[in-house]
Amino acid sequence: MTGGWPSKFWTAMVALCAALLLCAGLAGISRGDALASGTGMLPRQLLWIALATPAFLVPLCVHYRPLRRWSYGLYAVSLGLLCVVFFCPPRNGARGWIPLGFADFQPSELMKLSLILTLAHYLMYSRNHRTWWGLVTPFGLTFVPVVLILREPDLGTALLFFPVLFGMLFAAGARWKSLAAVLAMGVVCLPVIWLCMNAEQRSRVTVLFQQADGVSLSADDYQLHQAKQMLALGGLWGSDVNGVSVNDPRAYHLPASRSDFVFCLVGERWGLRGCLAVLGVYMTLIATGFMIAARTEEPFGRLVATGVTVLLGTQVVVNTGVTVGLMPITGITLPLMSAGGSSLLTVAISLGLLGSIGLRPDYELAGDPFRFQEPAVA
């Protein structure tokens, strides 16, 4: 048995952090409904949370190891769904959703989890990733969905796959010099990536270096200006304590406020104290995820826990960095807090797997009777 805190403690921490973040997200969405005109998103988000609860509990209560046999199949299904979106009607200039009538499904969210499971399955047996040629397969598994997602186009979601890949390769024992060399080659290729970006994507980058305040704002930097203004309106204590001090309703107008920019609503409602509290909960959740990965002796579980934690941490850093003007606007949701169904359900399943791994950290020395044991690949 692994020493330290009991296994149930770390799983309970995952559940507690998730519950706190869901409540914070509901508070932000509620504030956005109060500031916006039209149909409120709070009732719909409550419905998604009701669906996400069993999505968290089911993988938590069952053993995670049988997923190894399903990982490649799930990866293939996810790739197929990424191809289906190109036959669906576009939304806001992108083809990233499959309309189901009652809701829109985003296959790229499912692809995040599928890639983590597939990489974990491959890396747990192979030792070839410790050589240059051995990096070809994991990078190939990552590049295929990235190319499809870039075609939607969705640059922000596509870029999330690479931190997950590097984190899982490092946890699997890949040589850090090889990873550093690949990263350096990626930096060298940045001019080529810049030339491949469209005008809208370029403008989101250049606006970071041309941020302007005032009444004359272009369409490119309007959303960034409004996001920073919303945080500034919250001040130290937020509108819940200070009350609304600006009479101009245009000051509180923020596109996508309840989805990609829900962190701004939390800042406006609870101020700096609320933002720091939310970041503290996220840091606790991420630290718990890495602790579960470190305590897990079984390689598949350790790699899955690492991938899930790196993915959540990257999304938090990017989303909050966007809201304060440190990163380009990417359209990446804030896990557990942003309004939306596909993202919430995927995060719920991922955290359920993380909790299941936390409950079962020990290595299985002998398999159950009559259960097939997969041979190690040299």
pLDDT-derived band at 41 (thresholds 50, 70, 90) equals confident
pLDDT of residue 224: 83
E strands within 65-144? 98-99, 104-105
pLDDT of residue 252: 79
User: Tens digit of pLDDT for each residue in 326-346?
Assistant: 888 887 899 999 988 889 999
pLDDT of residue 263: 93
* Confidence check: pLDDT of 373 > 60: no
Q: Which of 122-136, 143-157, 270-284 has the lowest mean pLDDT?
A: 122-136
Query: Which residue would you say has higher pLDDT here, 65 or 133?
Result: 65
pLDDT of residue 153: 83
* Confidence check: pLDDT of 3 > 60: no
pLDDT of residue 130: 67
In whole numbers, what is the pLDDT of the chain averaged over residues? 84
pLDDT of residue 23: 95
pLDDT-derived band at 212 (thresholds 50, 70, 90) equals low
Q: Quick one: average pLDDT of 62-80?
A: 92
Q: Which of 61-70, 84-93, 124-133, 360-369 has the lowest mean pLDDT?
A: 360-369
User: Tens digit of pLDDT for each residue in 139-165?
Assistant: 999 999 999 998 888 888 988 999 999
Residue labelled with tokens 């990609």: 260
pLDDT of residue 214: 53
Q: Which of 25-34, 99-108, 138-147 has the lowest mean pLDDT?
A: 99-108
pLDDT-derived band at 34 (thresholds 50, 70, 90) equals confident
* Confidence check: pLDDT of 113 > 90: yes
User: Tens digit of pLDDT for each residue in 286-331?
Assistant: 999 999 999 998 899 999 999 999 999 999 999 999 888 888 888 7
Q: Quick one: average pLDDT of 84-106?
A: 83
Give how far Cα 98 sits from Cα of 4, 108, 172, 324, Å. Answer: 45, 11, 35, 31
For helices 161-172 and 107-125, the axis angle rounded to 10 degrees is 20
Adjacent-strand bridge partners of 94: 91
pLDDT of residue 328: 81
pLDDT of residue 32: 87
pLDDT of residue 193: 77
Tokens representing residue 110 in the block: 């499912």
* Confidence check: pLDDT of 365 > 50: no
| Distance from C-alpha of 38 to C-alpha of 29, rounded to nearest angstrom | 13
pLDDT of residue 361: 77
Query: Which residue would you say has higher pLDDT here, 166 or 90?
Result: 166
pLDDT-derived band at 348 (thresholds 50, 70, 90) equals very high
Q: Please, what is the Cα angle at 364 between 358 and 369, to 5 degrees?
A: 125
Residues of the chain with pLDDT > 90: what percent?
Answer: 46
| Distance from C-alpha of 19 to C-alpha of 190, rounded to nearest angstrom | 39
* Confidence check: pLDDT of 378 > 50: no
Q: Quick one: average pLDDT of 69-82?
A: 94
Adjacent-strand bridge partners of 162: none
User: How many other C-beta atoms are found inside a 10 Å radius of the C-beta of residue 86?
Assistant: 12
Selection from 131, 118, 161 nearest residue 318 by Cα:
161
- In this structure, are residues 114 and 351 in contact, taking their beta carbons and an 8 Å threshold? no
Give how far Cα 13 sits from Cα of 62, 197, 258, 294, 357, Å. Answer: 18, 41, 26, 16, 13
Amino acid found at 281: V
Tokens representing residue 283 in the block: 């840091």
Q: Quick one: average pLDDT of 44-62?
A: 93
* Confidence check: pLDDT of 43 > 80: yes
